[in-house]
Structures are given as C-alpha cells and as structure tokens.
C-alpha cells in the first residue's frame, strides 16, 4: 500500500466525517418540476456517492419559488418537498458520502431558461408549457444584462422575510438529513448582488460602504448558524472577484471571509465571477486548471478558514498536489465529475491503493478485486487499454 495521499485523508468538520477530500461541486440540473426531487436526481446524485466522492453537494436549491434560476430548479420552500429531499439525502449517505445542499435565491438572475436551453431570460413568448414567469427581486432596480427583467428593489421588510426564509430552508435541510449546508453567496445571485457595488446601488444600511453591502450576507450566515444544530457545518460559496474593474475584489473577499467566520461559517467554497456578463469574458482570459485556487489559498492563509477550491480541476495528481501544497482543504469538481462520476474511486486506484476495491459497492468490489488481480498477473491494470500494445492496432 502506498502512503496515504492527502486527497484520501478523511476529514472531520464539526459533526461531518468526510471519507476523503473530493467534493462534487453544486451543479443545477434544471429538471425538477415544482422543485421536487425526481428519479433523475436519485440516479444522478447516487452515481457520485457510489463513485467514492466524499462530499456530494446538491445543486442550487431554491428557498422560495421566485428564488429559482429556472422553472426546473430544485426547491426547499415547501413541506411537500421534504419527502423527496429526505429520500435523496438518505440515498447519498447510504453509499458513504456526506450529503450537502446548496441553498439559493437567484435574485435578479431568476426566471431564466435552463442553461441547456440557452439560459436566456424567460419572456411571455419563450414560456414553455407548464413554465411560470415571475418578477425577480434584487438590491436595486438594475438588471443583470440587456434583455433581462429589471428586478424590483427589495424593501427592508423584504430583507427581513428573506432572512427568515433562509433559516426555514436550512431547518428543512437538516430535517431532510443533509449533513452540511452551503449558502450560495456567489455567481451574481441575490446575496452576491448585494455584495458587489456593480449590482447594489442602495443608499440604506444594506448599500454603499463595503460594510453595508456585506451586512445581508453576514446576517443570513449568523441567522442560519444560530438555527442549526452544532454538529452541522455551515459553508458559504463566494465569488472571490467579479473580474471587473470597479467590482468586487479579492481584498473585499478577505474582509468578507473574516466577517463570515465570525458569523459561524466553517468553510468557504471559493469560486468567482457570474455577476456581470463582462466578467465572463475577462475571467476566460485567465482560465486554466485550478485558476481559482490561488483565491482560495489566499483566503485560507489570511483567515485560517478551511476552504474548498474549484475550477477546471481534472486529474487526480493535480487535485492531490493542491492539497499537498496546503492550498485547500477540499477539492470540488464539476464537469469532470459529470464526465466520470466515479472520478474519486478511479483516483483512489491511481494514487492510493491499486487493486483495493473495498470502498466500492460490495456487488462490484468482489468482482473487480479478482479481475484486477488477474490483470496484474499479466502486467496490466484496469487503466490499461489492450489495443495500446496490440500489433494490429491501426496507426
Ligand atoms: C451544469 C452546471 C451547473 C452548475 N450549477 C451550479 C450551481 O447550482 N451552484 C453553483 O454554485 N455553481 C454551479 N455551477 C458551477 C460549478 O459548481 C463549478 O464551480 C464550475 O463548473 C467550475 O468547476 P469545473 O471546472 O470543475 O466544472 C454549475 C456548473 C455547471 C457545469
């Protein structure tokens, strides 16, 4: 057995015992009806749990119907959504993964088509059968981009109601059996639009200075922390930068990180961008594997808060190196996991213990153990492509 690579060292955060440092990054599937868990979600999320992932984050799950990005988002605003969520959390946990959930209000980016249907804002003309169109809300009446609805600027009463809806959603998530809760404070959705001066033009206690723009995020984090059992870790996903001159910056994120730590956040999940279309083009210039990891590392170093890093991470060796270099505590993968839901189990074979299938579901593991032993006797492995040394292989 090789020495234990950091990617496979178990970790405990409050009461959550995570078997390794691999997380499924939250990814909207846009295929729920009325916010309800479907058979698709059961198979989709089980795949990652069976595939050895330590922490399985559910996609952005709306705390209110109007907080959905699209009509297909999962929801947690209604008791009727609890049985499905409970089944899903239980199912994920049954394969040894920690089930986590990301709570979201989409703010001014709400009422859009699913990403795979173009992601454009819904209009009365583009409304499909069964879809609903609604009025988005935001810190100010500034739309996300041209063609998007102008959000209604939130009143102080709206803000108070939003805070209690986040708490109610978190309490439901705990009742459903989720063992970690992530607040979505990134990507231009409601809370990040309060943080960024590009979207927040308020002149009251929730706008203007950095301190005022951070107020809502800190209040929600504090409210949720207070309402949750001590054993459940609270995580916040932030956009470390807007990637736009005059927008939210890494320095702002460092201040926010300290504030959220004080409010009881246990880990930051560090992403970036999403607040303005222009930021997408700017960030694309710098995108390479781990392009957001330096933000996470700086936050970790400056604040001592554990961090989850994400962004174009693909290989096991690279993910492991990030941990070995002390850049992060958890490594999350998005698209690479869609490509290969058993990424973590394969990484274990590659980095930790080739031929050890004890972490796989028993009905597979028994067979695969024997199979890999017989391959090894021929000097081969499950990763070996037989045609590679076949003389008949076409050039
Ligand atoms: C299909 C898809 C859906 C996504 N939905 C969410 C989401 O619900 N919440 C979120 O914070 N990020 C979301 N993201 C961003 C991912 O979590 C991740 O941060 C991003 O894809 C970069 O990681 P990757 O390069 O490993 O894919 C989504 C990304 C994809 C590809």
User: Which CATH number does the domain housing residue 55 bear?
Assistant: 3.20.20.70
Domain shared by 100 and 217, yes or no: yes
Residue 284 is predicted with a pLDDT of 74
Domain shared by 327 and 390, yes or no: no
Is residue 23 within 6 Å of ligand 1 at its C-beta? no
Which residues, other chains included, contact 75 with Cβ-Cβ below 8 Å and sequence gap of 6+? 32, 34, 35, 36, 61, 62, 64, 65, 68, 81
- Name the domain count of the chain: 2
Residue 278 is predicted with a pLDDT of 77
Task: Give CA separation, 37 vs 41, 87, 134, 135, 172, in Å.
Answer: 6, 9, 22, 24, 14
Is residue 311 within 6 Å of ligand 1 at its C-beta? yes
By most ligand atoms within 8 Å of CB, the mutation choice from 22, 26, 295, 344 for ligand 1 is: 26
Give 187 Cα–ligand 1 centroid separation in angstroms: 10
Residue 319 is predicted with a pLDDT of 98
Domain shared by 157 and 106, yes or no: yes
* Largest Cα span, the chain: 74
Closest-lying ligand 1 atom to the alpha carbon of residue 337? 26
Domain shared by 62 and 202, yes or no: yes
Tell whether 369 is covered by a domain: yes
DSSP letters spanning 162-177: HHHHHHHHHHHHHHHT
Model confidence pLDDT, tens digit, residues 165-215: 999 999 999 999 999 999 999 999 999 999 999 999 999 999 999 999 999
CA-nearest residue, atom 24 of ligand 1: 334
Domain shared by 313 and 393, yes or no: no
Is residue 335 within 6 Å of ligand 1 at its C-beta? yes
Which residues, other chains included, contact 322 with Cβ-Cβ below 8 Å and sequence gap of 6+? 290, 293, 309, 313, 328, 331
Tell whether 162 is covered by a domain: yes
Domain shared by 213 and 261, yes or no: yes
Q: Judge whether 45 counts as a catalytic residue.
A: no
Residue 279 is predicted with a pLDDT of 75
Domain shared by 280 and 389, yes or no: no
Domain shared by 332 and 292, yes or no: yes
- Listed residue (21, 4, 25, 23) closest to 334, CA to CA: 25
Which one is catalytic: 189, 206, 291, 364?
189
Structural domain range at position 368: 358-395
Closest-lying ligand 1 atom to the alpha carbon of residue 333? 26
Give 334 Cα–ligand 1 centroid separation in angstroms: 6
Domain shared by 385 and 301, yes or no: no
Domain shared by 111 and 206, yes or no: yes
Tell whether 144 is covered by a domain: yes
Which residues, other chains included, contact 252 with Cβ-Cβ below 8 Å and sequence gap of 6+? 195, 210
Domain shared by 181 and 321, yes or no: yes
Tell whether 22 is covered by a domain: yes
Domain shared by 283 and 363, yes or no: no
Give 389 Cα–ligand 1 centroid separation in angstroms: 38
User: Which residues of the chain have a pLDDT value below 70?
Assistant: 1-2, 387-395
Give 311 Cα–ligand 1 centroid separation in angstroms: 8
Tell whether 1 is covered by a domain: no
Is residue 59 within 6 Å of ligand 1 at its C-beta? yes
Tell whether 189 is covered by a domain: yes
Is residue 271 within 6 Å of ligand 1 at its C-beta? yes
Tell whether 232 is covered by a domain: yes
Is residue 44 within 6 Å of ligand 1 at its C-beta? no
Is residue 68 within 6 Å of ligand 1 at its C-beta? no
Residue 61 is predicted with a pLDDT of 99
- pTM over 0.85? The answer is yes
Tell whether 315 is covered by a domain: yes
């Amino acid at each position: 057995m090789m020495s234990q690579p950091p990617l496979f060292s178990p970790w405990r955060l409050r009461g959550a015992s995570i078997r390794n440092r691999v997380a499924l990054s939250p990814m909207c599937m846009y295929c729920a009806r009325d916010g309800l868990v479907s058979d698709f979600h059961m198979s989709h999320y089980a795949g990652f749990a069976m595939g050895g992932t330590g922490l399985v984050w559910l996609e952005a799950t709306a705390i209110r119907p109007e907080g959905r990005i699209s009509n297909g988002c999962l929801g947690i605003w209604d008791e009727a959504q609890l049985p499905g969520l409970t089944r899903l959390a239980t199912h994920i946990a049954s394969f040894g993964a920690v089930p986590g959930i990301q709570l979201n209000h989409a703010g001014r980016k709400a009422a859009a088509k699913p990403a795979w249907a173009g992601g454009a804002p819904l209009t009365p003309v583009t409304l499909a059968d069964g879809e609903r169109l609604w009025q988005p809300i935001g810190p100010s009446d500034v739309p996300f981009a041209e063609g998007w609805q102008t959000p209604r600027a939130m009143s102080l009463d709206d803000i108070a109601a939003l805070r209690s809806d986040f708490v109610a959603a978190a309490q439901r998530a705990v009742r459903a059996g989720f063992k970690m809760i992530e607040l979505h404070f990134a990507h231009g959705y409601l809370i990040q639009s309060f943080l960024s001066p590009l979207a927040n033009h308020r002149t009251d206690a929730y706008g203007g200075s950095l301190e005022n723009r951070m107020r809502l995020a800190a209040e929600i984090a504090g409210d949720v922390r207070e309402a949750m059992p001590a054993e459940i870790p609270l995580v916040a996903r932030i956009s470390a930068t807007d990637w736009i001159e005059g927008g939210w910056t890494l320095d702002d994120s460092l201040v926010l990180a300290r504030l959220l730590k004080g409010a009881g956040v246990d880990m930051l999940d560090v992403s970036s961008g999403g607040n303005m279309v222009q930021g997408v083009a700017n960030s694309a210039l710098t995108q390479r594997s781990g392009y957001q990891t330096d933000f996470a590392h700086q936050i970790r170093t400056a604040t001592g808060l554990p961090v989850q890093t994400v962004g174009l991470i693909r290989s096991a060796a690279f993910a492991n190196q990030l941990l070995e270099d002390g850049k992060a505590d958890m490594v999350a993968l998005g698209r690479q996991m869609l490509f290969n839901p058993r990424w973590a189990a394969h990484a274990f074979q590659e980095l930790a213990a080739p031929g050890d299938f004890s972490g796989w579901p028993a009905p597979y593991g028994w067979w695969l153990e024997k199979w890999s032993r017989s391959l090894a006797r021929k000097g081969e492995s499950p990763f070996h492509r037989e045609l590679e040394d076949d003389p008949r292989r076409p050039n």
